């Protein structure tokens, strides 16, 4: 067994751990790693930073533009609200003015209607007075004729002359008016 153990010992010294690489592999891998690290550090990373900075500036610019537009929209909205309020106030003033004018027109129309009614009433009174005077004249003529006929029948004399007839009629009417006045006083 000794030769077997000895053979195992010599192979154990020669066989190393498979997880640990050789020194020359570590050295050459480190050189390649540092070359790649330098390439990425000096070539790729600056370009990547430039791209990211450009995107950041673009996004910030868009955000600033959006804030500016939003401020403009807020200003325009406030202006529109002011204009609407002014329009409402103006419409209200116009409505009030129209109401006041309507009241004035209504009062003027009532005044005109009252004046027209007074004029019509005055005309009616004048017409009634004229008709009354005409009726009085007509009545005097008829009463005069009846009085003459009655007096002729009573007296038996003819009172055909106009002077005598009108005097008789006037006397008769005077008596009637005196009787009306005496009856009105009672």
Hey, what are 160's tokens? Answer: 């055909």
Confidence (pTM): 0.39
Residue ranges of the alpha helices (H) in the chain? 2-14, 23-39, 45-155, 162-185
pLDDT at residue 16 tops 90: no
Would you place residue 53 in the very low, low, confident or very high pLDDT band (cuts 50, 70, 90)?
A: very high
What domain range is 65 assigned to?
19-185
* pLDDT (tens digit per residue) in 136-176: 888 877 877 777 777 776 665 555 556 666 776 777 777 77
Residue 14 resides in a domain: no
* pLDDT (tens digit per residue) in 85-127: 999 999 999 999 999 999 999 999 999 999 999 999 999 999 9
CA distance 166 to 156: 18
CA distance 157 to 85: 102
Residue 44 resides in a domain: yes
The whole-number pLDDT of residue 62 equals: 95
Residues in contact with 144: Cβ distance below 8 Å, sequence separation at least 6, in sequence order: 165, 166, 168, 169, 172
CA distance 142 to 9: 183
Residue 31 resides in a domain: yes
The whole-number pLDDT of residue 37 equals: 96
| Category of 17 on φ-ψ map: left (φ > 0), alpha (ψ -120 to 50) or beta | beta
Residue 5 resides in a domain: no
Residue 9 resides in a domain: no
Would you place residue 56 in the very low, low, confident or very high pLDDT band (cuts 50, 70, 90)?
A: very high
Residue 6 resides in a domain: no
Where do we find the tokens 């005496």?
A: 182
Number of domains in the chain: 1
The whole-number pLDDT of residue 179 equals: 67
Q: Which residue has the higher pLDDT, 119 or 6?
A: 119
């Amino acid at each position: 067994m000794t030769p077997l153990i000895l053979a195992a010992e010599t192979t154990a010294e020669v066989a190393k751990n498979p997880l640990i690489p050789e020194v020359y592999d570590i050295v050459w891998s480190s050189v390649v790693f540092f070359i790649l690290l330098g390439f990425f550090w000096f070539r790729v990373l600056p370009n990547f930073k430039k791209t990211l900075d450009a995107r950041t500036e673009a996004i910030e610019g868009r955000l600033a533009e959006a804030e500016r537009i939003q401020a403009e929209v807020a200003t325009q909205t406030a202006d529109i609200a002011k204009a609407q309020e002014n329009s409402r106030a103006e419409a209200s003033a116009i409505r009030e003015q129209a109401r006041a004018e309507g009241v004035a027109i209504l009062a003027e129309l009532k005044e005109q209607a009252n004046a027209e009614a007074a004029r019509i009433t005055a005309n009616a009174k004048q017409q009634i007075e004229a008709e009354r005077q005409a009726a009085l004249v007509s009545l005097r003529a008829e009463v005069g004729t009846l009085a003459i006929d009655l007096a002729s029948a009573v007296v038996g004399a003819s009172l055909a002359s106009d002077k005598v007839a009108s005097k008789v009629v006037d006397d008769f009417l005077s008596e009637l008016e005196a009787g009306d006045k005496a009856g009105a006083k009672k």
